């Protein structure tokens, strides 16, 4: 399996995030990608290559042009107003009943306009790191179009919480959605996106909400209890021509492999029924029992089983790295998914 990875991920290295009422060191940090890469090299999964640059056009197929412009200039605008000694974090957000039609002139206002949390700092290198991650996913999609059975986009920062015109949850550009759209543009009639991250892929759901050509399936912790809280419920099935092309499989805190495997079997059956030509797999490993910000109970061996189950769907598959914050074990768990897939 070819692995696509850019060292420019290091340019996104936030100082702190707001968590549990206090500023804490960022859970989403460069060490995450480093340990995944090290494990992939140790097990000899496959060659690691740099992504091909694809420019901004594929990003504009998924994201709002005004939002992309904001991301490109946000750091410089922040520095002009506040200096470079602290990362850019939003001050306030739009509440129900407040108008969202006008983009504020102030950088503080624009940060709140385009974001949904204070855990996703914008830094001097955010735009370059985020575009390198998107390029990794796009290069993986290129490999599937060229006939590869699988590819792994070792993306950082992650992407599945980023929507058409918003960021949050450590995500700026939705790498999985960008890759799925690229596969559609490249000739795939139907594409499925399966998200196995502990947290609901709210951004991916929003992007494809009214699309019938891209199926989104997410297995995640019940949003009644867990981030991102405000979407990801089982009764959210899509709208318009996309009605029925969105499936949320919610699970309670404490879920172990037995319960998770049942949900994964339901997801696999829905993907087969949909008749997709390719699968994009949002690979979050924060379902691991040792993850510091999650509450499932999967063990490392379960990720081998997960990979085998995904292979059983029988589609060309692009794996795109999302979450996972038990850094010491992240490399093993991610590599186990990919190894389990390759062994089938």
Could you give the residue numbers annotated as active site? 161
Q: What is the DSSP letter of 50?
A: P
- The full length of the chain comes to 344
Distance (Å, whole) CA 245 – CA 258: 26
β-strand 214-221 against 246-251: which pairing, if any? parallel
Distances (CA, A) of 149 to 141, 143, 194, 309: 11, 9, 16, 15
What residue spans of the chain are helical by DSSP H?
30-43, 57-60, 65-82, 107-114, 126-145, 175-185, 202-207, 257-274, 300-311, 327-342
Helix (H, G, I), strand (E, B) or coil at 57: helix
Strand ranges inside 92-236, DSSP E: 150-153, 191-195, 214-221
| Cα distances (Å, whole numbers) of residue 136 to 118, 173, 292 | 26, 12, 27
Q: Which of 172, 93, 87, 99 is nearest to 124 (CA)?
A: 87
């Amino acid at each position: 399996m070819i692995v696509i990875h850019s060292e420019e991920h290091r340019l996104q290295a936030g100082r702190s995030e707001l968590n549990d009422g206090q500023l804490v060191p960022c859970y989403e940090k460069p060490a995450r990608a480093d340990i995944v890469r090290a494990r992939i090299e140790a097990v000899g999964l496959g060659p690691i290559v740099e992504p091909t640059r694809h420019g901004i056009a594929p990003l504009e197929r998924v994201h709002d042009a005004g939002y992309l412009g904001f991301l490109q200039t946000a750091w410089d605008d922040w520095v002009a107003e506040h200096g470079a000694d602290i990362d850019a974090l939003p001050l306030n957000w739009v509440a129900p009943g407040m108008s969202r039609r006008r983009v504020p002139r102030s950088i503080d206002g624009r940060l709140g306009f385009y974001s949904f949390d204070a855990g996703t700092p914008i830094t001097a290198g955010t735009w370059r790191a985020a575009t390198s991650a998107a390029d990794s996913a796009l290069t993986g999609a290129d490999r599937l179009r060229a006939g590869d059975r699988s590819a792994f986009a070792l993306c950082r920062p992650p992407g599945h919480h980023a929507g058409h015109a918003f960021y949050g949850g450590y995500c700026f550009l939705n790498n999985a959605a960008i890759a799925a759209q690229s596969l559609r543009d490249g000739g795939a009639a139907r594409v499925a996106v399966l998200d196995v991250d502990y947290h609901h892929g709210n951004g991916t759901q929003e992007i494809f909400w009214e699309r019938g050509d891209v199926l989104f399936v997410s297995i995640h912790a019940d949003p009644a209890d867990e981030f991102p809280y405000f979407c990801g419920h089982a009764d959210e099935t899509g709208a318009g021509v996309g009605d029925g092309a969105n499936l949320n499989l919610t699970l309670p805190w404490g879920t172990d492999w037995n319960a998770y495997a049942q949900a994964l079997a339901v997801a696999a059956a829905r993907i087969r029924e949909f008749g997709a030509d390719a699968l994009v797999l949002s690979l979050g490993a924060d379902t691991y029992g040792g993850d510091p910000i999650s509450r499932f109970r999967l063990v490392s061996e379960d990720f081998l089983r997960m990979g085998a189950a995904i292979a059983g769907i029988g589609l060309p598959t692009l794996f795109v790295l999302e979450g996972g914050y038990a850094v010491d074990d992240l490399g093993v768990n991610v590599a186990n998914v990919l190894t389990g897939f390759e062994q089938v």
